[in-house]
Structures are given as structure tokens and as C-alpha cells.
């Protein structure tokens, strides 16, 4: 692939929605910078798969988005391989319950730094390269940014803040850079400490007009649309939720 291929940096791209977004953009001829924090093996395997399909088209970078120094280094290392950056996808996210009565300062720092501070300073560091190429930014929002999820005040606040940043950036960075968001509904159920039991999952589906979960391709395809096929769209947050936001 020639050096003129467009380049996208995707945070949290080692698995789940981030990995599917990387694969989708790669299929459309993009070079990829795959960010990961701790999932090194998954990130390396994804990069190896992409490079087998098209040599020298993907690159992995480790960074802890909670650390300002790592955020700045990530931006620098993302631009270096191909000396350009055309898109930034702020996908990485911290999600787990933190009820107000028991939430700690560490919870605040983990959730707000990952979900809100890191996207701000990462875009700031990437902005010259994005402006140079008429770039695009897509932020991963959440339907809970508008209709809060019980016992997740920090997560909901962080995503509401990211939604506000999306609209602010769309105004402030135009006409050089477009900024949009994607707000998923039930696509992949949460893992680990945020996992939901079957009863909770069923309650969500009962509020979803399409009565099913979505597919990672639904999110990846929407992100690719906003980056590649929507030159006159900016400042929008698209709900990809099977209609669930109608019945919250």
C-alpha cells in the first residue's frame, strides 16, 4: 500500500468494537494504528492479520490513556509510521458500576480520564496532522449519556461530556476537521465486573423495538460511513441502538 493511503488511529482497538472498526476501515484501504493498553497479544494478532492481507498497513502502539505522557506519545507514534493521520476514533472506554455512596477518587480518575480527558488531549496532540489532511474524528458515545444508567454516575457523566466535546469540536474545528459520534445500544454485552445477568439483558431487549442485539458490524459500518462517506456531516451523534433510545 503506498504511503498516501489514509491513516486512522483507533483507541482500544485490540478487541470488540474497536477491532471490528479496524478491520472494516482496513478493508476500505486504510492503514491502521491499533492502540491498546493491556491486551498486547490481541493487538499483535490483529496487526499481524491485517499485515498479512496488506503488508505494512497496520501498527500497534501501547499506551495508558490515564497518563498524559502516554497520550502525547501515542499521538506522536501514530503519526510517525506514515507521516500522516486522517482519522481518529476515540473508542477506548472504562465502564463499570460506581454508585455515588462508594465511588472513590481512583474510580473518578479511571473513568473520567479514560473516557473524557484522554480524548480531549489526544485530539489536541493529533490536531495539526488531522487539519493538514482534512481529517475526521468519531467519538464513541453511549445512549446513557442522555438517559443515565443506575449506579454508573461517573460513566454517564464522562459520556455526556464527550458528547458535548463532539459538538463543540464540530464547531471549533470546522471547516478543516469533521467531528461526529456514534452512540451504541445493545451490541455486545459488557464483560467482567460490568457483566449483566440474563434478566437484565432481557429487560433491555424488551425496550428495543427491533427486539434483538446489534452486531459489531453495525457500529464499525457506521464509523466507516462517518469517516469515509459523509463529507457534509459534522456535529452529529448517531444512535445505533435498534430504536432503544425511543423507549428508555
Count up the domains in the chain and report the number: 1
Output the pLDDT for position 190: 60
pTM: predicted TM-score of the whole model, two decimal places: 0.92
The three three-digit cell numbers of residue 216, written as one number: 459489531
Whether residue 106 lies inside any domain: the answer is yes
Classify residue 89 by its DSSP letter: E
Q: 117: helix, coil or strand?
A: helix
Whether residue 1 lies inside any domain: the answer is no
Rounded CA separation 97/73 (Å):
30
Output the pLDDT for position 149: 87
Rounded CA separation 163/180 (Å):
9
Q: Distance from CA of residue 136 to its chain's centroid?
A: 13
Whether residue 34 lies inside any domain: the answer is yes
Show pLDDT as tens, one digit a residue, over the chain (248 residues): 345 799 999 999 999 999 999 999 999 999 999 999 999 999 999 999 999 999 999 999 999 999 999 999 999 999 999 999 999 999 999 999 999 999 999 999 999 999 999 999 999 999 999 999 999 999 999 988 988 889 999 999 999 999 999 999 999 999 999 999 999 876 655 665 555 566 666 676 666 667 676 788 989 999 999 999 999 999 999 998 777 777 76
Whether 155 is catalytic: yes
In contact, 33 and 84? CB cutoff 8 Å:
no
Output the pLDDT for position 212: 74
Question: Which residue is listed with cell 499481524?
Answer: 48
Residues of the domain holding 60 = 7-246
Q: 118: helix, coil or strand?
A: helix
Whether residue 2 lies inside any domain: the answer is no
Q: Which stretches of the chain are DSSP H helices?
A: 16-27, 40-53, 68-79, 105-112, 118-132, 153-172, 198-206, 216-228
Nearest to 140 by CA among 7, 20, 5: 20
What is the dihedral angle through the alpha carbons of 164, 38, 77, 227, rounded to the nearest 10 degrees? Answer: -40
Domain of 94: which CATH number? Answer: 3.40.50.720
Per the residue annotation, which of 36, 59, 144, 155 is the catalytic one? 155
Amino acid at each position: 500500500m503506498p504511503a498516501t493511503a489514509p491513516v486512522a488511529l483507533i483507541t482500544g482497538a485490540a478487541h470488540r468494537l474497536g477491532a471490528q472498526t479496524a478491520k472494516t476501515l482496513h478493508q476500505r484501504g486504510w492503514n491502521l494504528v491499533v492502540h491498546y493498553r493491556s491486551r498486547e497479544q490481541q493487538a499483535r494478532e490483529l496487526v499481524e492479520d491485517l499485515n498479512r492481507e496488506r503488508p505494512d498497513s497496520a501498527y500497534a502502539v501501547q499506551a495508558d490513556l490515564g497518563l498524559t505522557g502516554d497520550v502525547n506519545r501515542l499521538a506522536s507514534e501514530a503519526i510517525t509510521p506514515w507521516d500522516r493521520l486522517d482519522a481518529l476514533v476515540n473508542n477506548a472506554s472504562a465502564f463499570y458500576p460506581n454508585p455515588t455512596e462508594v465511588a472513590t477518587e481512583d474510580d473518578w480518575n479511571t473513568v473520567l480520564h479514560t473516557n473524557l480527558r484522554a480524548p480531549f488531549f489526544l485530539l489536541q496532540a493529533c490536531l495539526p496532522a488531522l487539519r493538514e489532511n482534512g481529517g475526521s474524528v468519531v467519538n464513541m458515545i453511549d445512549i446513557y449519556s442522555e438517559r443515565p444508567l443506575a449506579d454508573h454516575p461517573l460513566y454517564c457523566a464522562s459520556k455526556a461530556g464527550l458528547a458535548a466535546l463532539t459538538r463543540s469540536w464540530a464547531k471549533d474545528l470546522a471547516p478543516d476537521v469533521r467531528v461526529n459520534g456514534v452512540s451504541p445500544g445493545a451490541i455486545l454485552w459488557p464483560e467482567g465486573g460490568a457483566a449483566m445477568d440474563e434478566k437484565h439483558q432481557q429487560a433491555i431487549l424488551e425496550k428495543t423495538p427491533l427486539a434483538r442485539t446489534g452486531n459489531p458490524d453495525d457500529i464499525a459500518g457506521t464509523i466507516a460511513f462517518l469517516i469515509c462517506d459523509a463529507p457534509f456531516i459534522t456535529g452529529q451523534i448517531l444512535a445505533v441502538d435498534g430504536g432503544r433510545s425511543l423507549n428508555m
